[in-house]
Structure 1
């Protein structure tokens, strides 16, 4: 759905409003009309607009006095002043107060249209510059995605492709794997990067408030609604709405969310007016939605609507090649905050981390390393620093062979095996034990990854 730019015509001359509105609608703009300052302010309180055509003389106010209020309500919109009695003094005053330009009535419609186009282009550039500053900031911190394992590099390649579309995306994965980071990447690699990315945690908002949080409410819509509220859906207009923990959303809200996804239309709580926005939906869950559907806790039609494309974030135990790079990234980040502190992992700590299954995934990994930093006496993080003795994981056997029989099988295949035969069998058995993870295989063997690849090539072992 293409977003049409919203123009508010705030002028008490109804005939002039109608002529301008007709011209702008033919050009594809969405036009709002108001004849008084009160009506105009009500529109701006309700709806985000791109530009205002503002009459300098209104029945209930002065346009020059109204201009600062308008700019305060929506700082990025552009205002073009209209008046039948133009003076140099009033023009200068309007420009000082933040107006984009100043036209006298009766205005030439072609001139008005060109001025409006330039004003909207200025607004676009302002938003783009603001957005780029935010992107640079976020890319420097939040969007640092560590991915050296084959599983994660493959996921990120797919994420880049998905980001170029407007299709709804469902991100699945265990708690702590980094689903929100993938959602942010989708937004920042998309054409919507200069617009908001609004996160909503469906599991953290009380059921009685979630509709109001999503769609907003009118003043007096319910007990405690003392003021009008714009919802998160409206705030995400032209951007991305990230629905985290979507599997925990109440069924009653699922119905309204489905209707919104199908049409882009919604109503604030307590309002009869339909509003429309252009929002890209990214949802995430750690639940099995198929099982949730079977048990009647999640709507099947909503699942298919959300599931335009699915991205599965693998757990940390299935991408062990990322464990040590993640630790190094975490320690490097901490060094920026604590420039006088230097931390590193003892070899036995690295070995334990590589052999641990991390049920809490990357969140648990960072918690363990943070604990190690706190308890480390000399900057060398030992196993005792990150695990209490009773909960320390038991290291797997350093031998790559599962049993003596497996080792003796070499002699059955080669009655007089050479050292190369034994080495090849040992490498292949280690690779099998590491489930094909070459980084972990090289670590267990005590050689570099490059050396491992060279040996595999020597022994004629294909990918």
Structure 2
């Protein structure tokens, strides 16, 4: 729901103030009225205001003295001065002090509306520019989903329909399947496409900083808060906020997120004033949130608030028709110029890829292809370039067209492993490559460090 903009009319002329207030309310503005400087400052202390109509002459103060105080209290707020005859010079002086414009009384209401609208547009641009400076490199203009399998084609059809709504969406799927691409699709296929798309990985932000990252903070709110910071929620106003790894979010922040989802309102850390934004929430997780709820690690009320619609992204082993098209997409776009070569796959390499289980899903596929590019001597990627630690014989495992039992596995006894066994082997292999470095291992696996430690403990590998 879009929030109405708050306008404070600070003028001691009751009749004029009432006429202006009535006109602005009919236009959809949320109007506050004050007849004294002290009452106006009280509003500004407790409430976030978008614009102020400020009379130069007030019973308990001078508007020219009050103006700098107002701008200091709320930096982006726009002030339009109201002045009687004979005080034009003072109004011009007010503009030098930061006022947006001035109008003479009695005001032409149509002119006032136009001036107010322009002032609010300026405020929006100021806030967007501030937000853009803080969100550099968070967004990407590149967007493409490769889908040849029936499962992915069906998912994208549903995603297009979901995108046309404004409800919150929960995307579920294993790590590395491309949940972030589905989130981007929801944004790019929605009416919010020209507004911000802000992704945030809830599992990658330290618990002590996540509230500030999401909701922002005021200068001096805590040790190290040397400047004011706009949070990701505020940056996403009118757009989409993608909360990846939502299952990793600490319980204390889950409470604050729930309040925001219910009302669209939040407070920056260190600020008492409520702010409102219009944001579409898309969340993603590789966990079973219902199980997390039973174990007390996730709030049930937050789950139902997020779970307006659920999209399940199938693992790569269940959509093997996508494997080779994904490889071609990777080779032709994302890493085409690596080592200044053109790359292609040998037929046997394609066969081995199609027979591999991909516990790390699409993310692992791209890592394997990148490794093959690096190790290939002539631009032709062989199986040994992708799996240099395996002999060609070890890679030749019989497979059926669509059965999981035919997937290549690194087990010597020839028995078919469970998914847990495959994942455990993949984690061990990655740990070996990083020489036990947990952060590097988590990055290669595409999971958070906390999630890695949890898996190590579950598989009794934490020693």
- Does structure 1 residue 26 correspond to structure 2 residue 26? yes
* Distance across 2 between alignment mates of 1:343 and 1:231: 42
Moved more, 286-295 or 14-23: 14-23
**What secondary structure sits across from 2:395 in the alignment?**
coil
Return closer, same or farther for 1:296/1:122 CA change in 2, 3 Å cut-off: closer
CA distance in 2, matches of 1:283, 1:229: 23
Instruction: Pick closer, same or farther for the CA change 1:323–1:253 going to 2, 3 Å.
Output: same
Query: 2:280: which partner in 1?
Result: 280
Aligned to 2:458: none
SS in 2 for 1:388: coil
Is 1:113 aligned with 2:113? Answer: yes
Contact 1:177 1:314 in 2 (8 A): yes
2:309 matched residue in structure 1: 309
Q: Is the 8 A contact 2:11 2:54 kept in 1?
A: no
Q: Deviations over 1:431-459 (max 9, x none)?
A: x6589xxxxxxxxxxxxxxxxxxxxxxxx
Asked if 1:59 corresponds to 2:60, the answer is no
Alignment of 1:289 onto 2:289: yes
Distance in structure 2 (CA, Å) of the matches to 1:368 and 1:92? 66
Shift of 1:92: 11
3-state SS of 1:272 partner: coil
Q: With the length of structure 2 as denominator, give the TM-score of the two structures.
A: 0.69
How far apart, in 2, do the equivalents of 1:227 and 1:374 lie?
44
| 2:184 maps to 1:184 | yes
Asked whether the 8 Å contact 2:82–2:102 carries over to 1, the reply is yes
Structure 1 contact 335–342 (Cα < 8 Å) conserved: no
SS of 2:204's equivalent in the other structure is coil
Deviation at 1:348, TM superposition (A): 1.1
Structure 1: 5+ residue runs without aligned partners? 129-133, 401-429, 436-463
Q: Using the alignment, how far apart are the partners of 2:6 and 2:260 within structure 1?
A: 20
Given the two structures, how large is their TM-score scaled by the length of structure 1? 0.69
1:208 equivalent in structure 2? 208
Unaligned runs of 5+ residues in structure 2 are 129-134, 406-463
Aligned length: 388
Check conservation: 1:12, 1:59, Cα contact below 8 A: no
Residues 35-46 of structure 1: pairs in structure 2 closer than 5 A: none
Q: 1:335 to 1:272 in 2, by over 3 A?
A: closer
1:394 maps to 395
Q: Report if aligned partners of 1:355, 1:395 keep a CA contact under 8 Å in 2.
A: no
Q: How far is 1:101 from its partner?
A: 7.3
User: Counterparts of 2:32 and 2:197 in 1: how far apart (Å)?
Assistant: 26
Task: Quote the Cα distance in structure 2 between the aligned partners of 1:325 and 1:43.
Answer: 57
After TM superposition, give the deviation of residue 105 of structure 1 in Å. 2.9
CA deviation vs aligned residue, 1:247-278 (integer Å, no higher than 9, x gap): 11111222222222222223333443333322
Report the alpha carbon displacement of residue 333 of structure 1 after superposing the two structures with TM.
1.2
Deviation of 1:80 (Å): 6.2
Q: For residues 351 and 170 of structure 1, do their structure 2 counterparts lie closer, same or farther at Cα, with a shift above 3 Å needed?
A: same
Question: Is residue 355 of structure 2 the alignment partner of residue 355 of structure 1?
Answer: yes
Contact between 1:127 and 1:194, CA under 8 Å: does it hold in 2? no
Q: Based on CA coordinates, which of the two structures has the bigger radius of gyration?
A: 1
Any conservation in 1 of the 2:8–2:49 contact (CA below 8 Å)? no
Partner SS, residue 281 of structure 1: strand
Secondary structure (helix, strand or coil) at the match of 1:390 reads coil
Q: 1:394, CA displacement in angstroms? A: 2.8
Aligned-pair Cα RMSD in Å? 4.4
**Residues 1:259 and 2:263 aligned together:** no
| 3-state SS of paired residue (2:192) | coil
Q: Provide the secondary structure at the position in 2 that maps to 1:208.
A: coil
